[in-house]
Amino acid sequence: MKGAGTLLSFTDVTRRFGGVPALEAVTLTVGRGEFVSVVGPSGCGKSTLLRLASGLDVASSGAVETATDEVAYVFQDATLMPWRTVRRNVELLAELSGAGRGDVRERARAALESVGLAEFAGHLPRQLSGGMRMRASLARALVMKPALFLFDEPFGALDEITRTRLNLQLLDLFVERGFGALFVTHSVEESVFLSGRVVVMSARPGRITAEFAVPFPYPRPAALRYTAEFAELAGKVAAALEEAS
Ligand SMILES: Nc1ncnc2c1ncn2[C@@H]1O[C@H](COP(=O)(O)OP(=O)(O)OP(=O)(O)O)[C@@H](O)[C@H]1O
């Protein structure tokens, strides 16, 4: 573990599958209250990185350390239970953690409120749009008040307008709650808009080839995306990604 403020650290991590490296010599940290994005070409090992961070997978060599047990994993697929209402889906993790009924209810209510879904609490997942299902999935994770969020392309399947809106909502939550985040995406623009730091990974085996600090202060207005400074930085990240592919 690098320092007192570090939530997650990878130190010289390699993961091989049947002798073939998927990730190689990855060193990376996420600090408390820090938002870090990883962009890379398809198959570069981004999901493997998150699986290692969450403890679902184990490194072949090197060290993966987390300073918290309060880790939430948000997938591209909202993975809601189709027979449970939105509220009952959002309550699920708190319920499984053994929290009392009243506490579970209150936490779910607050989380649904945070993502703007309070009035849809009684709906079934199939009655929601894709963006709303993703917000429900986010609310389900928020209920646990995680210190660290792992995001695997959570908005990848959504249309551009919904995706942009959810980026803004996610940043509101980030500013309000101050969690640490490791966010995997294919979108350069999304990575720059959300993060304090963007990490670029190369094609197989996945290695970190570039890192960019994003200097724009939070909270970030939607119009940031249309500024010259934003375009310049996104251009640099895109060039590094091109080189890594
Ligand atoms: N359990 C496994 N067994 C064998 N090979 C695996 C396993 N998991 C991942 N791999 C391989 O490791 C590499 C990285 O996979 P991973 O899913 O992490 O990539 P990714 O960057 O998330 O891909 P995408 O962007 O397409 O989702 C791929 O070549 C994949 O085939």
- Going by the DSSP 8-state scheme, the letter that residue 84 receives in this structure is S
Q: Which two tokens stand for residue 194?
A: 């959300």
Domain boundaries, the chain: 1-70+147-245, 79-145
Please name the amino acid found at residue 80.
L
CATH number of 1-70+147-245: 3.40.50.300
Query: In this predicted structure, what is the pLDDT of residue 1?
Result: 58
CB atoms within 10 A of CB 221: 11
Query: In this predicted structure, what is the pLDDT of residue 149?
Result: 93
Query: In this predicted structure, what is the pLDDT of residue 43?
Result: 86
Mutate to test the pocket of ligand 1, among 48, 75, 184, 185 (most ligand atoms within 8 A of CB): 48
Mutate to test the pocket of ligand 1, among 17, 20, 37, 202 (most ligand atoms within 8 A of CB): 17
Measuring from each residue's beta carbon to the nearest atom of ligand 1, which residues come in under 6 Å? 17, 22, 40, 42-48, 204
Tell the residue nearest (CA) to atom 16 of ligand 1.
45
Tell the residue nearest (CA) to atom 18 of ligand 1.
45
- Going by the DSSP 8-state scheme, the letter that residue 158 receives in this structure is S
User: Do residues 160 and 187 touch, judged by C-beta distance below 8 A?
Assistant: no
Q: 205 C-alpha to center of ligand 1: Å?
A: 10
- What is the ipTM score, two decimals? 0.92
Q: 229 C-alpha to center of ligand 1: Å?
A: 34
Sheet order of strands, 197-201 included:
71-74, 148-152, 180-185, 35-39, 197-201, 208-213
Minimum-distance ligand 1 atom for the alpha carbon of 48? 18
Beta-sheet strands, E only, within the chain: 6-17, 20-31, 35-39, 61-66, 71-74, 148-152, 180-185, 197-201, 208-213
3-state SS class at 86 = helix
pTM of the model: 0.91
Minimum-distance ligand 1 atom for the alpha carbon of 206? 14
Q: 46 C-alpha to center of ligand 1: Å?
A: 8
pLDDT tens for the 245 residues of the chain, in order: 556 699 999 999 999 999 899 999 999 999 999 999 999 988 889 999 999 999 999 999 999 999 988 888 888 887 899 999 999 999 988 888 787 889 889 999 998 988 889 999 999 999 999 989 989 998 998 888 889 999 999 888 888 888 898 899 899 889 988 999 999 999 999 999 999 999 999 988 899 999 999 999 999 999 999 999 999 999 999 999 999 88
Q: 160 C-alpha to center of ligand 1: Å?
A: 26
Q: 194 C-alpha to center of ligand 1: Å?
A: 24
